[in-house]
A = this chain, B = another copy of it.
Amino acid sequence: MSYIRHIIAQFLLDDNGGFMVKSKVMSSIPSNPSSDPASPSAAAPGASPTASAASSPTFSPLYQQIKALIMQRLQSGEWKSGELIPSEVELGNRFKVSQGTVRKAIDELAAENLLVRRQGKGTFVATHHEARSQFRFLRLMPDSDQPQVTDKRVIELKRLRAPADIARQLGMKSGDSVVYVKRVLAFDGVPTILEELWLPGALFKALTLERLAEYKGPMYGLFETEFGTRMIRATEQIRAASADADAAELLAVEKSSPLLCVERVSFTYGDKPVEVRRGFYVTSRHHYQNELS
């Protein structure tokens, strides 16, 4: 109820089509708002907007609505990873808001690493195919600052029915099809990370061991380009563990050696979980780096 008067004021102030943004946001939104700025729905000024405002308690500032509109374009794939999106002025014209409002929406999306601004060039959709975003999801750093050669070895890839805990974390039903991957990462030839992944089978039908093994570059880059699934956020739970026989062998450490156990759940647009990953890290020459602020 808080933004009712605000919206009305907006409506009265706008000289053309200003109402559209709100009405579109309040209900669901056609794919392309720039198509026809002269197509207001029915309802007299102040009547319908007020009514729908009252019926929908989920109001948000204009820039948040613009942000949601932009996010929809990203999620739908209308603007793909790495691509240039329309300029702030252009988006302002499309959405019938000022450039400043678009700017504030993009500010937040850039802060969330969904978009990247480049002065003089434009605003781009973020991608995992970059040195910059390479280590955004891998916090394990060498104790010495030397850059290291990374070697990736896929141990196993298979389809299986999701165990209960994995299914729960992926928002699926127990027994649904998932892709299971097991691999080892080595730095400068030293095996350091053993990890298992579970991915929704429906999304990753075409993923094969060969495809994964031959792919150079970050795995999330592959997922983004080949499977239309972009990881935008993740949570990690870290525990201490001891190496079992299998881990000890694959990581070339003594059985019962201390290992860092990192359980990650990754999310794509709409906060939809699309990956569970359990990693065991050898931390004798590396550490998990975290910044608190």
Contacts and interface: CB of A to CB of B under 8 A. Distances in A.
Interface of A: 112-113, 136-137, 139, 232-242, 256, 258-260, 264, 281, 283, 287-293
A67 to B, nearest CB: 15
Number of this chain's copies in the complex: 2
A236 B240 CA distance: 16
A128 to B, nearest CB: 13
14 contacts: A139-B292, A233-B291, A233-B292, A234-B291, A234-B292, A235-B290, A236-B290, A237-B288, A238-B283, A239-B258, A239-B260, A239-B287, A240-B241, A258-B259
Contacts of A242: 258
A285 B290 CA distance: 21
Nearest to A234: B292
A232 B112 contact: no
Nearest to A291: B235
B238 A292 contact: no
B293 A290 contact: no
Most chain B Cβ neighbours within 10 Å, of A113, A241, A260, A291:
A260
Q: Is the interface of A mostly helix, strand, loop or mixed?
A: strand
A239 B283 contact: yes
A235 B242 CA distance: 25
A117 to B, nearest CB: 15
B289 A237 contact: yes
Contact of A235 (B112, B236, B240, B289): B289
A242 B243 CA distance: 12
A240 B240 contact: yes
Contacts of A112: 293
B240 A283 contact: yes
Nearest to A286: B239
With a 10 A CB-CB cut-off, give which of A112, A238, A291 has the most chain B CB atoms.
A238
B236 A292 contact: yes
Nearest to A290: B236
Contacts of A281: 240
A140 to B, nearest CB: 9
Given A233-B292, A236-B291, A236-B292, 9 more contacts: A136-B292, A232-B293, A233-B293, A234-B291, A235-B289, A236-B290, A238-B288, A239-B288, A240-B259
